Amino acid sequence: MIILGIETSCDETAAALVKYQGGKFSILSNIVSSQIQIHKKYGGVVPEVAARNHIINIIPVIDEALTKAKIKPSQINRIAVTTGPGLITSLIIGQETAKTLAYAWNKPIFSINHLKAHLSANWLNNQPIKYPAISLIVSGGHTELTLIKSKNKFIKIGQTLDDAAGEAFDKVAKLLGLGYPGGPIISKLALEGNPKTFKFPRPMINNNDFNFSFSGLKTSVLYTVKKLKKINKKTKADLSASFQQAAVDVLIKKTIKAAKKYNAKTILLSGGVAANKVLRENLSIACQKENLNFLMPEIFLCTDNATMIAAAAAFEKPTPWHKLRVDPNLEI
């Protein structure tokens, strides 16, 4: 089966062609047109600007995905598109494009939850998954722990009560004057810093639930910065490393705790923050210690892309036309 994936939930216009055959996935093309350079000067994504650029980019991006994959529309079996959560004007452009193509090419359309798609990036490892599994999705808009009882049985068990993990990286980068998006910049700078220099709090680390809070951690970085007389590059690197370690420690402690409570056999990491090397390495070590299988997508499949949208569609039912709608607040 050949699946065309389309993703426009935030500021990436993406299209991909994925083959699913004999229980194995292969990526035929993965095109991502990033708007980071455009939104950088505003310090974050401006929804109206994002939507305008999706309109400009969407057809060329799909065209490029088809050309690179050497696939003709007649060979496509499914069209998958993100319908939420995300920015409503951005989502509409992906959905309307997918609908038009599905109508013109006479293909079934698959409405895809962006969060399920993030965790579906793990299916692209082509490894069997032992259930129950615990999924940690960490992105710019979400931080969620989900219990997966079997392939399509998801139960949300925890989430952030304020900022998402990626949002915290972005805000800390902003307050340190480092630019946008913060995650990749902080993690790079942290390589030159000492994570033990500043003792930042690990919010809610010992709570009995599986929720998170990152707003207090960010504020703690802010107060520390205000108290410092002079901040040079080394101080920024130490602040970055110390903040990153605090965020990673909380994410790992709660994930492992959830795995123990629900007798999970597997941990699945995903979302933009899953590109963070310290999180990847530390969680991998923690899973080894607990004898848990650990899966994470390749780094290029962690941040928003359409390959994960196509992968998610392999196990979904087609969406009837009258049920197609975007939902900016869609939950897992």
- Which residues bind to Zn ion, rule: CB under 5 A? 139, 304
Residue partners of 330: CB distance under 8 A and separation at least 6: 83, 84, 85, 113, 114, 115
Task: Residue 104: count other Cβ atoms within 10 Å of its Cβ.
Answer: 9
Residue 169 interacting partner from ligand KG4, Zn ion, none (CB closer than 5 to 8 Å by kind): ligand KG4
For the packed helices 233-261 and 215-227, what is the interaxial angle rounded to 10 degrees? 160
Q: Which of 53, 139, 146, 211 binds ligand KG4 (CB under 6 A)?
A: 139
In the complex, what is the shortest distance from the CB of residue 319 to Zn ion, in angstroms, rounded to a whole number? 20
In the complex, what is the shortest distance from the CB of residue 14 to ligand KG4, in angstroms, rounded to a whole number? 10
Residue 166 interacting partner from Zn ion, ligand KG4, none (CB closer than 5 to 8 Å by kind): ligand KG4
Short-list 244, 200, 238, CA closest to 222:
200
Task: Residue 67: count other Cβ atoms within 10 Å of its Cβ.
Answer: 11
Number of residues that bind ligand KG4 (CB under 6 A): 20
- Binding of ligand KG4 at residue 141 (CB under 6 A)? yes
Residue 306 interacting partner from Zn ion, ligand KG4, none (CB closer than 5 to 8 Å by kind): none
Short-list 91, 90, 130, CA closest to 291:
130
- Closer to ligand KG4 at the Cβ: 63 or 331? 331
Residue 84 interacting partner from ligand KG4, Zn ion, none (CB closer than 5 to 8 Å by kind): none
Judged by CB under 6 A, the stretch of 53-61, 176-184, 248-256, 310-318 that binds ligand KG4 is 176-184
- Binding of ligand KG4 at residue 5 (CB under 6 A)? no
- Binding of ligand KG4 at residue 297 (CB under 6 A)? no
- Binding of ligand KG4 at residue 11 (CB under 6 A)? no
- Binding of ligand KG4 at residue 242 (CB under 6 A)? no
Task: Residue 89: count other Cβ atoms within 10 Å of its Cβ.
Answer: 17
Strand partners, 112: 82
Structure tokens at 266: 């597997």
Site for ligand KG4 in 264-283 (CB under 6 A): 271-273, 275-276
- Closer to ligand KG4 at the Cβ: 7 or 66? 7
Residue 238 interacting partner from ligand KG4, Zn ion, none (CB closer than 5 to 8 Å by kind): none
In the complex, what is the shortest distance from the CB of residue 19 to ligand KG4, in angstroms, rounded to a whole number? 24
Q: Is 268 helix (H, G, I), strand (E, B) or coil?
A: strand
> φ, ψ for residue 82 (rounded to 5)?
-70, 130
Structure tokens at 132: 């129950």
Residue 94 interacting partner from Zn ion, ligand KG4, none (CB closer than 5 to 8 Å by kind): none
Residue with tokens 């979302």, as numbered in its chain: 271
* 12-21/24-34 β-pairing: antiparallel
Task: Residue 208: count other Cβ atoms within 10 Å of its Cβ.
Answer: 8
Strand partners, 27: 18
Structure tokens at 214: 């990152």
> Is there a contact between 85 and 330 (Cβ–Cβ < 8 Å)?
yes
Residue 159 interacting partner from ligand KG4, Zn ion, none (CB closer than 5 to 8 Å by kind): none
In the complex, what is the shortest distance from the CB of residue 235 to Zn ion, in angstroms, rounded to a whole number? 31
Q: Which of 94, 183, 193, 297 binds ligand KG4 (CB under 6 A)?
A: 183
What's the rounded Cα separation, in Å, for the pair 73 and 115? 27
Structure tokens at 239: 């602040």
Residue 273 interacting partner from ligand KG4, Zn ion, none (CB closer than 5 to 8 Å by kind): ligand KG4
Residues that bind ligand KG4 (CB under 6 A): 10, 139-141, 166-167, 169-170, 181-184, 187, 271-273, 275-276, 303-304
